[in-house]
Structure 1
Amino acid sequence: MHPCSSVLHLLLRCMRGCCRHSRSRVPRRLRRHVSYIRLIFKSLYFNSLTNSDVVTDSVLEPVFWMVEVVTRWFGMVFVFLVVALTSSVVFIAYYCLLPLVLHTYSPGWMIWHICYGHWNLVMIVFHYYKATQTPPGYPSKTKTDVPFVSVCKKCIIPKPARSHHCGICKTCILKMDHHCPWLNNCVGHFNHRYFFSFCLFLTLGCMYCSVSGRHLFIDAYNTIDEVSQPPYTYKDRMFYKSVIYMWVLTSTVSVALGALTLWHALLITRGETSIERHINSKEAKRLAKRGRVYRNPFSYGKLNNWKVFFGVEKRSHWLTRVLLPSGHAPYGDGLTWDIYPLKKDMMPV
């Protein structure tokens, strides 16, 4: 008998044994998961091809499964947090800061704050809505003429270049970057631009609130103990506490989200996704040992990578498609990719 056939036979026997043994002790809803976990550990003893990578993946499989389940079920909670926290900052800006701006700022500064603040808010809301509601893109399950580089072991369908399987969405994603719990959606070919633009404009909005409200925060922080005493009213206390809350929240988010935005900007400049960054790094090290240089086949040059990412085809698109809300489709269909080993101007402007 072939060794692989014997191993498969033993695994099937273990699965049947685990299922029969668990019926009497484990609730029906957990039987499948318990049997699967037992099968993983038992397979370590019967697999003659076991190595450190197989053992590590098998031991961590329950952890990966738990993370996927938690992320899937708590996706709406994360979305609610984004909406609630953003709405609270907007409410404070309108209720506390806008009247102060109208009474103390000069007309020029007042117009600038109102125009910039509302433009930034529109860009945040538009791109977050589009990022959550736009499907990232999925490989075709019926077409057979689409070029593919491998077959997904979980979906059992051909995988086009740059597509990867998402364990949370339970399907393959075109040009997958990552699964974002704050969007409750995967970031892929058709909503990658919306995700990055949301991160960018939310960072700019938080920096704007943090910088413009710095002096108010210092005054509120220095007088927070005094406002708890008369003659300060409840409205005064809530005003100072709201200013402190807004400044701390926006400053924290601007630092954390700003670092994430810079990281994705670097990836876009290189023509990579988060997943491809790890793949390309390993491939570069492998070829370096052979004295060869690895070049990313999907990088068209730094400027062209940004043009392709934002869909900029002429100069006016930097305004209409980047600085203003735009729902235009991304470059390409996500199934096939043009490979340019040399840097050339794909989209002259």
Structure 2
Amino acid sequence: MGRLVGRLFVGFTSSLICFIAYSPQIFVIWPWYGRELSVELITLLLPFNLLVGVLLWNYYLCAVTDPGRVPAGWKPDVQDNDGYEVKKLTRGPRFCRTCEAYKPPRAHHCRQCKRHVLRYRLTAHTDHHCPWVNNCVGHFNYGHFVRFLFYVDLACSYHFAMVARRVYAATQYWEDIASTELIFIILNFATCIPVLVAVGAFSLYHFWALSGNTTTIEGWEKDKVATLVRHGKIHEIKFPYNLGIRRNICSVLGDNPLLWCWPTVTPGTGLKYQLAEGDDSRGVAWPPEDPTKINTLPESDPNYKFVLPDNPWTFQNGSLNPHLEPSNTRRRPSSQRRLQSAAAQGPYSSLPPYHPDYDESQAEPAYALSSESSSGEEEVPDDEFGRRMGRVRVRRGSEGYEVKSVDREEVLRRFVEGRTHEPGRYQRYVPEPSSESEVEDGDADESIPLAQQVEQWRSAT
């Protein structure tokens, strides 16, 4: 959302608040009291205007107050007794690759502001900051946002009661209502009631989140944990930031209850939060993972060393490459057409160039469709010496070419034999057969050095 669109949202919200606040006073209540200033009129309108004034002041503070940002060069204190938030996979401190900085607890990246926001609170089920205030709602302005919702509920309720009283008085005494007054009564009901219902429901959710010291993101996490507990997959785990209703409210609105309804600065820095006391509140990763869910990404181990597998044509963990799977049934016709076009361009060997049995002169069309099985696999033909390699399965995919279970020593032996049998490549040494006396002498005592055996052989002859 751009700056212009955000300002339009703020302008529309401010105009709607001013219309609901001042139009009934000018066009409904003032004519009802005969357009004369009286004590009764002041008694009716003064509380309403105070509510509207505090409402607008909290709305302004919520829109202009920085929700909190991570200081440059901030790093978590790994020696802290309370611990620090870690990643699920690496078990290291939370780090944002976009900002190239560490992430404090409960902080999240805002794509609109392009930075991290402390105690990031989504004001609705969205993935960006609140459009109605054109700002993120975080640690330092969440108190203003809660007060703003509270005063909207009070002001709209007072407004509805005030205008309803005017309508009741008109119907009770059969008074004639001017057309202008009637139009504004209808407009005020049409705007006040939807705002009261929508903001009221929204306020109830945030009052519940405030009492549990929960952000919107953490509320979604608590719902997932409750589902896992209900299905019996994990034991019930206490939310680590729930300090009790009073202390939860004090962590946002301040320690003095008399000033909860007055705009104050949120206590704390937003970089560290007090944890709940209890056996299950410390040392437990939040949110807990589903134990039945298979984690396909292993945790990085700094002491891990790669060991070459026994079979050179398998994946590094000893199994087949999971990415090399047969083509989908719906995509197979298109794959066959691609293979036909590739075969028409020229001959290709069915073996990769690094394979010991690869022979460019005997290359044939790649992956012949006649030999392709229904599962996307094919058989390797006989090697260049006419020996049957067996029904060796070959899998291919977007990441390469793979052959199942070939003995490493056998591959090396055939590679050496294939090179040494090439005419003119090597001069092979074939020793002469030993005489029976040599064999007997050699078998009689193998501990005698070769030089002494030669001398004994010369003296014997």
- For Structure 1 versus Structure 2, the TM-score category normalised by the shorter chain is 0.5 to 0.7
Q: CA contact under 8 A between 2:228 and 2:234: conserved in structure 1?
A: no
Residues in 1 aligned to 2:278 and 2:248: alpha-carbon distance in whole angstroms: 13
Please identify, of 123-132 and 133-142, the stretch whose mean Cα deviation from structure 2 is larger: 133-142
Aligned: 1:161 with 2:105: yes
1:170 is matched with 114
Which structure 2 residues correspond to residues 10-25 of structure 1 after superposition, within 5 A?
Answer: none
2:150 is matched with 200
Aligned: 1:322 with 2:254: no
- 1:180 CA displacement: 0.9
Compared CA separation, residues 105 and 299, structure 1 to 2 (3 A): farther
Which structure 2 residues correspond to residues 227-306 of structure 1 after superposition, within 5 A?
Answer: 236-286=178-228, 289-306=232-249
Residues in 1 aligned to 2:51 and 2:252: alpha-carbon distance in whole angstroms: 21
Q: CA contact under 8 A between 1:131 and 1:183: conserved in structure 2?
A: yes
Over alpha carbons, which structure has the higher Rg?
A: 2
Residues in 2 aligned to 1:105 and 1:299: alpha-carbon distance in whole angstroms: 54
User: 1:297-317: per-residue Cα shift (whole Å, max 9, x none)?
Assistant: 1111122212222102xxxx3
- 1:329 CA displacement: 2.0
Which structure 2 residues correspond to residues 1-349 of structure 1 after superposition, within 5 A?
Answer: 69=1, 73-100=4-31, 102-103=33-34, 110-145=41-76, 149=86, 150-178=94-122, 179-217=129-167, 236-286=178-228, 289-312=232-255, 317-319=256-258, 321-323=259-261, 325-326=262-263, 328-342=264-278
Residues in 2 aligned to 1:72 and 1:279: alpha-carbon distance in whole angstroms: 31
User: What residue identity is the alignment partner of 1:83?
Assistant: S
Residues in 1 aligned to 2:218 and 2:3: alpha-carbon distance in whole angstroms: 23
- 1:90 CA displacement: 2.7
Q: CA contact under 8 A between 1:101 and 1:110: conserved in structure 2?
A: no
User: What residue identity is the alignment partner of 1:172?
Assistant: H
The structure whose RCO (Cα within 8 Å, separation 6+) is larger is 1
- Report the number of matched residues: 255
Residues in 1 aligned to 2:65 and 2:42: alpha-carbon distance in whole angstroms: 34
2:321 is matched with none
User: 1:181-236: per-residue Cα shift (whole Å, max 9, x none)?
Assistant: 00000000000010111011012111111122124457899xxxx98xxxxxxxx4
Compared CA separation, residues 145 and 273, structure 1 to 2 (3 A): closer
TM-score by length of 2: 0.50
User: What residue identity is the alignment partner of 1:198?
Assistant: F
- 1:93 CA displacement: 3.0
User: What residue identity is the alignment partner of 1:329?
Assistant: V
Residues in 1 aligned to 2:103 and 2:170: alpha-carbon distance in whole angstroms: 56
Residues in 1 aligned to 2:224 and 2:26: alpha-carbon distance in whole angstroms: 52
Residues in 1 aligned to 2:170 and 2:260: alpha-carbon distance in whole angstroms: 37
Q: CA contact under 8 A between 2:67 and 2:142: conserved in structure 1?
A: yes
Residues in 1 aligned to 2:199 and 2:56: alpha-carbon distance in whole angstroms: 16
Residues in 2 aligned to 1:145 and 1:88: alpha-carbon distance in whole angstroms: 48
Q: CA contact under 8 A between 1:148 and 1:158: conserved in structure 2?
A: no
Residues in 2 aligned to 1:287 and 1:153: alpha-carbon distance in whole angstroms: 33
Q: CA contact under 8 A between 1:217 and 1:244: conserved in structure 2?
A: no
Residues in 1 aligned to 2:103 and 2:167: alpha-carbon distance in whole angstroms: 52
Secondary structure at the aligned position of 2:116 is classed as: strand
User: What residue identity is the alignment partner of 1:281?
Assistant: D
- 1:253 CA displacement: 0.4
Secondary structure at the aligned position of 1:141 is classed as: coil
TM-score by length of 1: 0.66
Secondary structure at the aligned position of 2:56 is classed as: helix
- 1:153 CA displacement: 3.5
User: 1:73-118: per-residue Cα shift (whole Å, max 9, x none)?
Assistant: 5211110111111122233133123424645999775444233112
User: 1:145-182: per-residue Cα shift (whole Å, max 9, x none)?
Assistant: 55554112422211111111112222111001112100
User: What residue identity is the alignment partner of 1:88?
Assistant: F
- 1:119 CA displacement: 1.7
Secondary structure at the aligned position of 2:109 is classed as: strand
- 1:259 CA displacement: 0.3
- 1:318 CA displacement: 2.7
User: What residue identity is the alignment partner of 1:140?
Assistant: P
Residues in 2 aligned to 1:199 and 1:177: alpha-carbon distance in whole angstroms: 15
Secondary structure at the aligned position of 1:113 is classed as: helix
- 1:332 CA displacement: 1.2
Compared CA separation, residues 216 and 157, structure 1 to 2 (3 A): same
Compared CA separation, residues 152 and 258, structure 1 to 2 (3 A): same
Compared CA separation, residues 291 and 83, structure 1 to 2 (3 A): closer
Compared CA separation, residues 241 and 137, structure 1 to 2 (3 A): same
Q: CA contact under 8 A between 1:138 and 1:172: conserved in structure 2?
A: yes
